[in-house]
Amino acid sequence: MKICVDAGHGGADPGAIGRRPFELEEKAVTLSVAEALESELERRGHWVVMTRRQDRTLALEARAEFANRLEAELFISVHANAAASDDVHGMEVFQFPGSASAGVFAASILARMLVAFPSHRSRGVKEADFVVLRLTDMPAVLVELEFLTHPDQLVFLSEPANRRALAEAIASGVPGGDPEPLMFA
């Protein structure tokens, strides 16, 4: 499958910024996870294109246009969340409203993330009219890894081993990404 991986934010747009117990910008987390996701998806036999490979500013419309031009079959945008309260935490995956095919990918990816990290809270699969979900011609999901504004989750997202494990979990949620499908009772 041809998959477009989008590392959210970048360049002049840092995205969310966690500040406690140290500062961490979303754009750094997303690029790291996206690079690991690229490697993991390729290892599993997928063909991957990346919207960005460095810290650069890229318009949301340009991200969707890139995926459309290359005729990707799936678009995965990687993000880290933020909230006004520092006790909000959890993983969630967004899809465009009414997109049944994206909903299948979103549910599978979130399920795999929660299997890999069972102590993390599920915030569910949600619908949103985000530009990268609306303007892509293929099924598209936006993965919110965790909340940078939650001190424990900021530490979690700062650790390279956790970033790699998140990428592996996302990749295993893509069809063909895992030889043993996750079964639900």
Per-residue pLDDT of the chain (185 residues; tens, 9 = 90+): 999 999 999 999 999 999 999 999 999 999 999 999 999 999 999 999 999 999 999 999 999 999 999 999 999 999 999 999 999 999 999 999 999 999 999 999 999 999 999 999 999 999 999 999 999 999 999 999 999 999 999 999 999 999 999 999 999 999 874 444 444 43
* Residue at 80: amino acid letter: A
Q: How do 74-81 and 2-7 pair as beta strands? A: parallel
Q: What is the pTM of this model?
A: 0.94
DSSP string covering 31-54? HHHHHHHHHHHHHTT-EEEES-SS
Domains in the chain: ranges and CATH: 2-172 (3.40.630.40)
The single-letter DSSP state of residue 25 is E
